[in-house]
Amino acid sequence: MLEAAVLWDKCLDDLKYQVKPTVFTMWLRPLSAQIEGEVFIVRAPNDYFVDYVRKNHLQDIEQLVTKHSKDAIKQVIVRVDKASIPAAESEFALAPQQTTDASTAMSQNPVATTGFDARLGTNLASGAADVLPSGQISSADAKSLSYLNSDFTFDTFVTGKTNNLAYKACYELTKRQSQNRHNPLFIYAPSGLGKTHLMHSVAHRYLKQQRSFYYFTSEKFINQLVYSLRNNKIEEFKKKIKKVDLLIVDDIHVLAGKVKSSNEFLSLFADFTTGDKQIILASDRHPSQLTEFDERFRSRFSWGLSVPIEPPEIDTRMQILQKKAALTGIELPKECALFIAQNVVSNVRRLEGALNQVVANANLTGAPITLEMVQYALKDIVAMRVQAVNMDNIRKVVAEFYDVSVKDLMGKKRTRSIARPRQIAMALARELTGDSFPDIGQSFGGRDHTTVMHACDKVAQLRAEDPVLDKDYKSLAMMLQAG
């Protein structure tokens, strides 16, 4: 039986190599899917998404769905996800003395830990009051608070060497009188490493302290800016946001290239970097690497503190697995946690997915969780990991990471923006596949084996001299070996 989520994940894995990273992040990643009979339904947050996807990506999606379903799906349609509408039409800025009611609302409305609905939504254009009178909270506002994930708190965040600085920075800024607050706080990491968890944790602390905040995904922030600009309500929009204590914007890199929206954001940015206000921004890259923005933005994003979250080390991955298992009342033997951690290395989301697969297998079969059972339950993930480390995928992953095309990596251009990623791809190929220098050279446009040898030596030298490049290299290696 086809599972919609599994089929859609396979389609997304292909789509992310067919479009620019910014397009994938803004327009395709927020989508979800369901299957009704022989119809595959792509669910979008609103009509803007539906129109865009139909015009630009429906044909590609149809081809991929047909391919991965082995012709079991006969029709693909795109429509608005009705379940997301209440969140998108409600406010979530909080006023003092709302904490008790908000906490009650959250406990009564558990939400998914990942995906679009796990993030808070708002529609400032709706005209609803953004800050309620002291001690009052409407049913709509209470409902919107349920989208602040009750599991994403500082207490449930597992720290290690790769995320400890980000954890401390977020925790510190929730202290009213802290001398170690940094504004803006810029968190950067690939998807699935805990950025959203930390930002929700900060929001939870603000709730307890009876302070107000706004939390936006970048696409929702842009939608609101565009609506306000088109309807001459931009000042009203900014006025509402300026009332709160904290502004959080996720995936800020998606704002690049949208001139009017970017300029309006800069004015808001100025308001939240003065006085007692705070702004938190998140992206997949360090501010200096956001080359889609001009220098005004990159310099402002770097004013405060930029903190990375890197893929967790194996000890941290084991701790995450055992803590997640304990929270759900499951006893996960150490050797089982070790096996999962060894085979799923890329991010926390995939770790959770692997653990959920093991638990589901145990529940369905009634078998205890043993190493043999875990190995069987995750046999496909292990096989996928082995398949991922091949020359074709190395080129694709490196090209996506550095926002160049695979064609450029294979081509003759020698500009630094292309030559350096090409050298890194060659070095990764040598380390991860063990292929000979001549074979690797042939895989990169028929280059001589001495070119590959030089690339490997150069990358080794640069990794020793440049911590940023070394971090990128390690991240790419982990991504390629991911389960």
282 DSSP β-pair partners: 187
Cα 265 off chain centre by: 21
The per-residue pLDDT for 124 is 36
Q: Where residue 367 falls among pLDDT bands split at 50, 70, 90?
A: confident
225: closest CA among 211, 235, 210, 214? Answer: 235
In sequence order, the 6+-apart residues with CB closer than 8 A to the CB of 288 are 298, 302
Cβ neighbours, 10 Å, residue 44 = 22
Q: Rounded mean pLDDT of 44-57?
A: 84
Cα separation, 215 vs 78, in Å, equals 27
Instruction: Answer for the pair 280, 248: CB distance below 8 angstroms, yes or no.
Output: yes
Q: Where residue 433 falls among pLDDT bands split at 50, 70, 90?
A: confident
Number of domains making up the chain = 4
At residue 173, does pLDDT exceed 50? yes
In a shared domain, residues 142 and 249? yes
In a shared domain, residues 9 and 155? no
- The end-to-end CA distance of the chain, in Å, is 23
In a shared domain, residues 76 and 98? no
Q: Rounded mean pLDDT of 366-394?
A: 79
Tell me what the pLDDT averaged over the chain comes to. Answer: 78
Q: Which carries the bigger pLDDT value, residue 298 or residue 116?
A: 298
In a shared domain, residues 154 and 91? yes
For the record, the structure tokens of 482 come out as: 């991911």
The per-residue pLDDT for 478 is 73
Q: Where residue 180 falls among pLDDT bands split at 50, 70, 90?
A: low
Cα 472 off chain centre by: 17
In a shared domain, residues 270 and 169? yes
Dihedral (Cα; 50, 55, 56, 61), 10-degree rounding: 70
Cα 434 off chain centre by: 31
The per-residue pLDDT for 99 is 35
Q: Rounded mean pLDDT of 111-125?
A: 31
At residue 130, does pLDDT exceed 60? no
In a shared domain, residues 377 and 393? no
The per-residue pLDDT for 144 is 38
At residue 232, does pLDDT exceed 80? yes
Q: Rounded mean pLDDT of 242-248?
A: 88
306 DSSP β-pair partners: 186
Cα 277 off chain centre by: 25
Sheet holding 75-80, edge to edge: 32-36, 39-44, 75-80
CB burial string 186-201: b at 16+ within 10 A, e below: bbbbbebbbbbbbbbb
Domain boundary among 39, 57, 80: 80
Per residue, the 3-state secondary structure of the chain, as one string, reads: CCCHHHHHHHHHHHHCCCCCHHHHHHHHCCCEEEEECCEEEEEECCHHHHHHHHHHCHHHHHHHHHHHCCCCCCEEEEEECHHHHHHHCCCCCCCCCCHHHHHHHHHHCCCCCCCHHHCCCCCHHHCCCCCCCCCCCCHHHHHHHCCCCCCCCCCCCCCCCCCHHHHHHHHHHCCCCCCCCCCCEEEECCCCCCHHHHHHHHHHHHHHCCCCEEEEEHHHHHHHHHHHHHCCCHHHHHHHHHCCCEEEEECHHHHCCCHHHHHHHHHHHHHHCCCCCEEEEEECCCHHHCCCCCHHHHHHHCCCEEEECCCCCHHHHHHHHHHHHHHCCCCCCHHHHHHHHHHCCCCHHHHHHHHHHHHHHHHHHCCCCCHHHHHHHCHHHHHHHHHHCCHHHHHHHHHHHCCCCHHHHHCCCCCHHHHHHHHHHHHHHHHHHCCCHHHHHHHCCCCCHHHHHHHHHHHHHHHHHCHHHHHHHHHHHHHHCCC
Q: Rounded mean pLDDT of 378-405?
A: 78
Q: Is the C-alpha dihedral spanning 368, 371, 374, 379 positive or negative?
A: negative
At residue 61, does pLDDT exceed 90? yes
User: Lowest-confidence range among 84-98, 117-131, 320-334, 374-388?
Assistant: 117-131
Cα separation, 150 vs 373, in Å, equals 31
The per-residue pLDDT for 95 is 35
User: Lowest-confidence range among 105-119, 148-162, 378-392, 400-414?
Assistant: 105-119
Instruction: Answer for the pair 374, 362: CB distance below 8 angstroms, yes or no.
Output: no
The per-residue pLDDT for 58 is 93
Q: Rounded mean pLDDT of 147-157?
A: 81
CATH code for the domain in which residue 455 is found: 1.10.1750.10
In a shared domain, residues 422 and 344? no
- Residues 206-228: tens digit of each pLDDT: 888 888 888 887 777 878 888 88
| CA 226 vs CA 45, 122, 124, 242: distances in Å | 16, 14, 12, 18
Domain boundary among 279, 308, 337: 308
Q: Where residue 89 falls among pLDDT bands split at 50, 70, 90?
A: very low
Peptide bond into 184 cis (omega under 30): yes
In a shared domain, residues 371 and 235? no
35 DSSP β-pair partners: 40
Cα separation, 126 vs 280, in Å, equals 25
In a shared domain, residues 171 and 232? yes
The per-residue pLDDT for 193 is 86
For the record, the structure tokens of 45 come out as: 């947050």
In a shared domain, residues 98 and 205? yes
At residue 352, does pLDDT exceed 50? yes
The per-residue pLDDT for 376 is 85
Instruction: Answer for the pair 352, 389: CB distance below 8 angstroms, yes or no.
Output: no
The per-residue pLDDT for 179 is 63
CATH code for the domain in which residue 366 is found: 1.10.8.60
Q: What range does the domain containing 196 cover?
A: 86-308
CB burial string 323-344: b at 16+ within 10 A, e below: ebbeeeeeebeeebbbbbbebb
Instruction: Answer for the pair 84, 147: CB distance below 8 angstroms, yes or no.
Output: no
CATH code for the domain in which residue 28 is found: 3.30.300.180
Instruction: Answer for the pair 235, 271: CB distance below 8 angstroms, yes or no.
Output: no
- Residues 438-475: tens digit of each pLDDT: 889 988 988 989 999 999 999 999 999 888 888 888 87
In a shared domain, residues 394 and 373? no
The per-residue pLDDT for 178 is 65
Q: Where residue 136 falls among pLDDT bands split at 50, 70, 90?
A: very low
In a shared domain, residues 92 and 217? yes
Domain boundary among 62, 80, 98: 80
What percent of the chain shows pLDDT beyond 90? 16
CATH code for the domain in which residue 142 is found: 3.40.50.300
At residue 290, does pLDDT exceed 60? yes
